[in-house]
């Protein structure tokens, strides 16, 4: 980050998504433009779901039984991130390791299941609270990994994952931690959440062609596809990573967060909060907008949001930066999206490749951006921005740079 | 009709299912010794209530209770 404090680097990434377990699976699906949206018979809508996996084998029987799905997805992503970083829990200086995880919904699956039991006059599970509360995920991860530093949750709706990463970086910059496991997770695949989003008119409605439902920047977009997933990155003080002689994937050069303070759900018409977040992230990175090579856009596929974001980005970087959205392939993973997209942006830097935006048949004429479509584009990216915005007018931007 | 032996088997299976690692369960083992925390005690009560087909009070067991005592408690209230 800026010269004011310790530099923060990323040494590991982990992703669980509708493409499967692992960042490789998500990256491959993005490169191949292979949308994971399907008709969901349980919710009778188009959704993206993480493929089933043996939670007991992956996590151990007690953890599998005593955690909500949103925790389980993050456990898997976190283990992957630690492995890539070459870190073994317990071998580290525990009090110097923090955990910050973002979530929009917490254990909403557990909450809904137990609410049904309660309303039917049955006893609720004694695990209801530890499975449902939003702070439990970082608590569980700290317990699982022996991370004894600061541990807390960040919640800013669909900006939660990026917010958590920004706050994790701040813990390193302040000198509180050498390592922070940060990211986001959500598994909101329950009837109540789907019905609530549908009632707001937020969901893409293309039952006849589910794979084409999520269409960021396309003229025919009509909403987002509800999805689940988790993303975790290992943030590390640069000197700490250097001392371990571990590979640095990218630098987290800057972070910015700001509120629209405009409307409970609608973004500011000029993206004011997102704009301030971008400027704050660039300022911290010591960079200007002209240096931005690539933008991983929030772009969920809603009619209003995509245009507001595109006008803002166009005004800042014009056609100089490549732009992509991961949500046509992976759906909108809510509080996980910012973390998953940060991990994919790190991939763009390390692989020197920008994945295309799938389902982009006809670019909205109001979108004046260099949106990558069709095939992956080879590009050496020095500085990228990853955008996240949430209901509540909360925005978070991460500036990621080549090491 | 439920027998004390079949009830013991049911109890031991329910305890085992709550633990990650297999442990030797004896009549003298306390629930605490077996590694059941306070939340697991309530989970055990829920499991046994389902297995026995009758409601059990949440405070029926405590962590210092031995397996023999637990089986006897259930046997005394077991349906005929």
Q: pLDDT of A274-324, one tens digit each?
A: 999 999 999 999 999 999 999 999 999 999 999 999 999 999 999 999 999
pLDDT for residue B80 is more than 70: no
Decide if A250 contacts A10 (C-beta within 8 A).
Answer: yes
Provide the whole-model pTM: 0.95
Contacts of A123 in chain B (CB under 8 A): 46, 58
Other beta carbons less than 10 A from residue A281's beta carbon = 29
Average pLDDT of A59-81? 96
pLDDT of A157: 97
pLDDT for residue A150 is more than 50: yes
A387 has catalytic annotation:
no
pLDDT for residue A1 is more than 80: no
pLDDT digits (tens, 9 = 90+) for A26-36: 999 999 999 99
Q: Which of A158, A177, A268, A294 is catalytic?
A: A158
Contacts of B43 in chain A (CB under 8 A): 125-127
pLDDT for residue A3 is more than 80: no
Q: Give the B-side interface with A, CB within 8 Å.
A: 18-20, 39, 42-43, 46, 58
A158 has catalytic annotation:
yes
pLDDT for residue A73 is more than 70: yes
pLDDT of B1: 76
Decide if A372 contacts A356 (C-beta within 8 A).
Answer: yes
- The count of residues in chain A is 403
pLDDT of A400: 98
Q: Give the A-side interface with B, CB within 8 Å.
A: 60-62, 66, 123, 125-127, 130
pLDDT of B76: 85
Decide if B48 contacts B11 (C-beta within 8 A).
Answer: yes
Minimum CA–CA partner of A61 in chain B: B20
Whether A62 sits inside 8 A of B43 (CB atoms) is no
Average pLDDT of A139-157? 98
- Which candidate, A169, A96, A107, places its Cα nearest to that of A339? A169
Contacts of A62 in chain B (CB under 8 A): 18-20
pLDDT digits (tens, 9 = 90+) for B13-29: 999 999 988 889 999 99
pLDDT of A4: 64
Question: What's the rounded Cα separation, in Å, for the pair A337 and A16?
Answer: 11
pLDDT for residue A2 is more than 70: no
pLDDT of A19: 98
- Higher confidence at residue A130 or residue A5? A130
Minimum CA–CA partner of A57 in chain B: B20
pLDDT for residue A186 is more than 50: yes
pLDDT of A401: 98
Minimum CA–CA partner of A124 in chain B: B46
Mean pLDDT, chain A, as a whole number?
96
Across the interface, which of B20, B42, B58 has its CB nearest the CB of A62?
B20
The percentage of residues in chain A with a pLDDT greater than 90, rounded to a whole number, is 96
Other beta carbons less than 10 A from residue A119's beta carbon = 8
- Higher confidence at residue B23 or residue A379? A379
pLDDT for residue A17 is more than 90: yes
ipTM of the complex in this document: 0.83
Calculate the CA A401 to chain-centre distance: 18
Q: Is A205 helix (H, G, I), strand (E, B) or coil?
A: coil
pLDDT for residue A181 is more than 50: yes
Decide if A207 contacts A223 (C-beta within 8 A).
Answer: no
pLDDT digits (tens, 9 = 90+) for A203-220: 998 888 999 999 999 999
The percentage of residues in chain A with a pLDDT greater than 70, rounded to a whole number, is 99
Residues 6+ apart with CB under 8 A from A184: A101, A102, A103, A154, A160, A161, A162, A164, A230, A231, A333, A335, A336, A337, A338, A339, A340
Across the interface, which of A60, A61, A126 has its CB nearest the CB of B42?
A126
**What one-character-per-residue DSSP string does A269-331 give?**
TT-HHHHHHHHHHHHHHT--GGG--EEE----S-HHHHHHHHHHHHHHHTTSSEEE-SHHHH-
A263 has catalytic annotation:
no
> Would you place residue B79 in the very low, low, confident or very high pLDDT band (cuts 50, 70, 90)?
very low
pLDDT digits (tens, 9 = 90+) for A95-125: 999 999 999 999 999 999 999 999 999 999 9
């Amino acid at each position: 980050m800026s010269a004011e404090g310790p530099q923060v680097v990323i040494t590991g990434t982990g992703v669980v998504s509708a493409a499967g377990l692992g960042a490789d699976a998500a990256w491959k699906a993005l490169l191949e433009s292979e949308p994971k949206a399907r008709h969901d018979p349980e919710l009778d809508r188009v959704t993206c779901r993480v493929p089933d996996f043996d939670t007991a084998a992956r996590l151990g029987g007690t953890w599998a039984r005593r955690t909500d799905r949103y925790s389980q997805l993050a456990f898997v992503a976190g283990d992957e991130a630690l492995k890539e970083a070459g870190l073994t829990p317990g071998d580290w200086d525990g009090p110097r390791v923090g955990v910050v995880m973002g979530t929009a919904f917490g254990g909403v699956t557990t909450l809904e299941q137990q609410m049904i039991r309660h309303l039917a006059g049955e006893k609720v599970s004694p695990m209801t609270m530890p499975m449902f509360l939003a702070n439990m995920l970082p608590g569980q991860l700290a317990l699982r990994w022996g991370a004894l530093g600061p541990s807390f949750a960040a919640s800013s709706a669909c900006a939660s994952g990026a917010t958590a990463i920004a706050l994790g970086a701040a813990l390193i910059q302040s000198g509180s931690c050498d390592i922070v496991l940060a990211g986001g997770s959500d598994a909101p695949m329950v009837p109540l959440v789907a019905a609530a989003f549908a009632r707001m008119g937020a969901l893409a409605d293309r039952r006849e062609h589910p794979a084409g439902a999520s269409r960021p920047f396309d003229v025919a977009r009509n909403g987002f596809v509800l999805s689940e997933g988790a993303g975790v990155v290992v943030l590390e003080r640069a000197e700490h990573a250097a001392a371990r002689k571990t590979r640095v994937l990218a630098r987290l050069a800057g972070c910015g967060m700001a509120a629209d303070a405009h409307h409970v759900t609608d973004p500011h018409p000029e993206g004011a909060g997102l704009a301030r977040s971008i400027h704050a992230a660039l300022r911290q990175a010591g960079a200007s907008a002209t240096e931005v090579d690539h933008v991983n856009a929030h772009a969920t596929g809603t009619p209003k949001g995509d245009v507001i974001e595109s006008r803002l980005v166009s005004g800042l970087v014009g056609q100089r930066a490549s732009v992509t959205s991961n949500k046509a392939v992976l759906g909108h993973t809510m509080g996980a999206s910012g973390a998953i997209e940060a991990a994919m942006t790190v991939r763009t830097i390390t692989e020197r490749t920008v994945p295309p935006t799938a389902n982009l048949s006809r670019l909205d004429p109001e979108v004046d951006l260099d949106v990558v479509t069709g095939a992956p584009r080879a590009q050496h990216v020095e500085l990228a921005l990853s955008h996240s915005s949430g209901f509540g007018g909360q925005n978070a931007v991460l500036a990621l740079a080549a090491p | 009709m439920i027998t004390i032996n079949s009830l013991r088997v049911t109890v031991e299976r329910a305890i085992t299912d709550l633990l990650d690692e297999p442990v030797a369960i004896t009549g003298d083992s306390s629930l605490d010794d077996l590694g059941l925390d306070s939340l697991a005690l309530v989970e055990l009560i829920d499991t046994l209530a389902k297995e026995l087909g009758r409601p059990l009070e949440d405070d029926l067991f405590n962590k210092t209770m031995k397996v023999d005592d637990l089986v006897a408690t259930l046997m005394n209230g077991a349906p005929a």
